[in-house]
Amino acid sequence: MPVGVLALQGDFEKHRQMLQRLDMESIPVRYPDNLKDCSGLIIPGGESTTLTKQINYANLRAPLLEFADDKPVFGTCAGLIMLAETVDDDRVAPLGLLDMTVSRNGWGRQVHSSTEELKLSFSAGTPFQAVFIRAPVVTGTGPSVTILASYGDQPVLITDGRHLACTFHPELGEDCRVHEYFKRLMDV
């Protein structure tokens, strides 16, 4: 079964290209029906306030929650914000799939965009070049969550064994290791 990539806004095509490099088929998800054929779902970066509106407008909220009951969801940047339990912005209605609290504006007023080297706990290889674009900050995690990579003392890639989320943009660049990790979650 193909991997769904939520295609309401943001750089969903880049995620699809990354999956293609891993020989994985993908389909854009715009309507609840699209989810029926998917083995997992990626929620890309973009703007979490806009994503909230679009998910509601497309009547995708309940189908997404049902899908996530037994299939893995991978949220990147704004997608991570959507997976959180709690977000510090009332305009965002997160799905509550991962036990974490998130600050949309965790970097303060400064617009934080940079590339940083990360050590991935599941890979002994070279550091991962992670692109952060107006990145959120994970301000707290519950006991079900495992941290797979940190930037300083901040978790930036986390999982609970089913879902996956990162504050950076793993679809940018050539390194497929984070998507490969998601592939493994779909095989479980």
Instruction: Give the residue with the Cβ less far from ligand GLN, 34 or 48.
Output: 48
Residue 67 or 168 having the CB closest to ligand GLN: 168
User: Residues 13, 47, 88, 99: which binds ligand GLN (CB under 6 A)?
Assistant: 47
Does 133 contact ligand GLN by CB under 6 A? yes
Binding string, residues 81-100; x marks residues near ligand GLN by CB under 6 A: x-------------------
| CA 117 vs CA 88, 152, 154, 165: distances in Å | 27, 11, 13, 17
Residues assigned a catalytic role: 77, 169, 171
| 100-103 vs 73-76, strand pairing mode | unpaired
Instruction: Name residues whose C-beta falls within 8 Å of residue 34's C-beta, 6 or more positions apart in sequence.
Output: 4, 27, 28
Question: Taking the CB of residue 31, how many other CB atoms lie within 10 A of it?
Answer: 11
Q: Footprint of ligand GLN on this chain (CB under 6 A)?
A: 45-48, 77-78, 81, 104, 133-134
